[in-house]
Amino acid sequence: MATATIAPPVEREDYLNKHYGAGSWLFTTDHKRIALLYLASITFFFFIGGFFALLIRLELLTPASDLVQADTYNKLFTQHGMVMVFFFLIPSIPAVLGNFLVPMMIGAKDLAFPKINLLSWYLYIIGGAMMLHCMLTGGVDTGWTFYTPFSTAFTNTKIVEAGLAIFVAGFSSILTGLNFVVTIHRMRAPGMTWSRLPLFIWAHYATSIIQILGTPVIAITIVLVAVERTLHLGIFDPKLGGDPLLFQHLFWFYSHPAVYIMILPSMGIVSEIIACFSRKRIFGYSFVALSSIAIAVFGFLVWAHHMFVAGISVYAALVFSLLSYSVAVPSAVKVFNWTATLYKGSIRYDAPMLYAFGFLGLFTIGGLTGLFLAALGIDVHVTDTYFVVAHFHYIMVGGALMGYLGGMHFWWPKISGRLYPEGWARLAALIVFIGFNLTFFPQFLLGYLGMPRRYADYSHMPEFQILNVFSTAGSTVLGIGYLLPMIYFLWSMRYGKPAPDNPWNAAGLEWKTQSPPTTYNFEEEPVVTWEAYNYDEIDARRPDEEAPSVG
């Protein structure tokens, strides 16, 4: 990499030191501070969800239901799912990295609606507090999918409260998406045309479309469940003339696109990292950009593939199976383009790139197994087994979470003004990769061999124990891999080397600001005259040559 100047030792004013005190954080409208508020909150919920995962894996070490009883186990996997999905994965990248970077990448001072951005965080906190309260006072045991009529007519756990918590958090998600779409349309700097936008922006734009159009449907579903449960209606209860599948249609109409909310931002990060650490423009930029939109649109067409054995008509199953194959195409387009970007690139193996490589392999496996599940014949055999569990963890953890960690490392110098310790970071990436595969690969085998999901007691299938032991062992390794970045990121905030403005010599407007940036990001509005990922130009400049000034 060309040398970047070391940050001067003088204390410059930036968004972190401009104002001090709790009030300056709790009433901020600076998108960067809001991003950090989110960072703290979602990390908290990640550890809550992880705690439930730990208990699940500990229980599954032995076939008998000896650590916890089935009723408690039901609560464990339910709350693991609800917390991880609604309070970690869905907000994580958009609310942290998206909030921080979207305005900077397009050359704006802030998002279009800064106060709504802050409101969005408060809604997340309120929803999170409601969910915490619910879990601490008895919890829910329906699975994160809270299918009816169990959730409406039979269970005596706190469905309404959990549902309302998710409703509030969903509103937070809608407002974030709304903010991003308006910002990306209206606040791009002069010269920042659509075809010059970083792919991170395209990814967040597509994600926002899903958040806007999908989340309201689960919101109304929650309202209906709450009404039905409270008044003993029969909208979803077959004994009273209702159809449980109606719930599933409405639930999955959101929850399938929701998984694309989780993965698209991560794909955006991977594009940024691969371009920077191959020193090349992303191959097939427009294909990768449009594939994000395609994933968002096609993602709305496939929801009933979660219902193949639930009782939908066989014709509907055929149609949804076919449509599910179509949604894999844009994802594959991305994987091929990233690989083509690597080809003849000048590869560096810094920690962000290690996470990107991990993403490539693990997302591919997760995605392919999704296609297996989309095939009706296979799905009948492996649905509701650990095969499905392994599939979605490969995508959400091996994909989305790896991308998130890669992004946190990549932009950490910008966010904090400090460098994280590279040696520890590479080690952590390796530990995460190994731990992840040790945890979840055995689950493919378990599922294929027939171990059902959501079972605390598998003592009628004791032959599954050995694979479960591997999986639990892996989860311990994975946990260590997650703890390490927590520790060294915090450590770096005080003891890390001050970061230069552009330590990676990366393309992108965000790197043309101070590290950490000032409150309004740019002193003067940037005027963009170059294409995205102009690494050939960047690397061709002699080290002492000034980059085009953006103020």
Partner 1 sequence: MSDSPATVVHGEAHAGHNPALLHHFATEEQQRDSASFGMWIFLATEVMFFGGLFCAYLIYRRWYFGDFGAASKSINAALGATNTAVLICSSLTVVLAIWAAQTSRRALMIVMLILTMLFGVAFLGIKGIEYKDKFDEHHVPGPSFSFSNVPIPGHPNQYANPQHAQIFFALYFVMTGLHALHMVIGLGIFAWLLWMAWKGRFTPEYHTPLEIGGLYWHFVDIVWIYLFPLLYLIDRHP
Partner 2 sequence: MSDHSKSSPLATYFAVWGALLVGTFLTYEAALLDLGRYNAAVALIIATTKALLVVLFFMHLKGASEKLLKLVVASTIFFLILLLALSMFDYGTRSFS
Residue 463: CB atoms within 10 Å: 11
CB closer to partner 2 out of 213 and 461: 213
CB-based contacts of 334: which residues, under 8 Å, 6+ apart?
A: 267, 271, 288, 291
Q: Which of 118, 160, 304, 451 binds partner 2 (CB under 8 A)?
A: 304
Contact between residue 428 and residue 358 where contact means Cβ atoms under 8 Å apart: no
Interface mask toward partner 1 for 510-549; x: CB under 8 A: ----------x----x------------------------
Asked if 302 is part of the footprint of partner 1 (rule: CB under 8 A), the reply reads no
CB closer to partner 1 out of 219 and 397: 219
Residue (of 451, 383, 397) closest to 60 by Cα position: 451
Please count the residues of this chain forming the interface with partner 1, following the rule CB under 8 A: 45
Q: Which of 1, 67, 126, 227 binds partner 1 (CB under 8 A)?
A: 227
Q: Candidates 16-24, 128-136, 236-244, 495-503 — which segment interacts with partner 1 by CB under 8 A?
A: 236-244
CB closer to partner 1 out of 109 and 454: 109
How far apart are CB 122 and partner 1 at their closest, in Å? 15
Please count the residues of this chain forming the interface with partner 2, following the rule CB under 8 A: 19
DSSP one-letter code for 343:
T
- Alpha-carbon span 144 to 154, nearest angstrom: 16
Show the tokens assigned to 334. 């991305």
Q: Candidates 107-115, 362-370, 378-386, 506-514 — which segment interacts with partner 1 by CB under 8 A?
A: 107-115
CA 523, chain centre distance (Å) = 32
Show the tokens assigned to 428. 């952590």
What residues are paired with 380 via a beta bridge? none
Asked if 408 is part of the footprint of partner 2 (rule: CB under 8 A), the reply reads no
Asked if 249 is part of the footprint of partner 2 (rule: CB under 8 A), the reply reads yes
Q: Which residue bears the tokens 């992840």? A: 436
Sign of CA dihedral 128, 133, 136, 140: negative
- Alpha-carbon span 37 to 125, nearest angstrom: 10
Residue 401: CB atoms within 10 Å: 28
First to last CA, the chain: 23
Q: Candidates 182-190, 361-369, 380-388, 442-450 — which segment interacts with partner 1 by CB under 8 A?
A: 182-190
How far apart are CB 213 and partner 2 at their closest, in Å? 5
How far apart are CB 382 and partner 1 at their closest, in Å? 29
Residue (of 113, 257, 271, 100) closest to 185 by Cα position: 113
How far apart are CB 238 and partner 1 at their closest, in Å? 11
Binding site for partner 1 (CB under 8 A): 108-116, 174, 178-179, 181-182, 185-187, 212-217, 219-221, 223-224, 227-228, 231-235, 240-243, 246, 249-250, 253, 520, 525
Binding site for partner 2 (CB under 8 A): 185, 209, 213, 217, 245-246, 249, 253, 300-301, 303-304, 312-316, 319-320
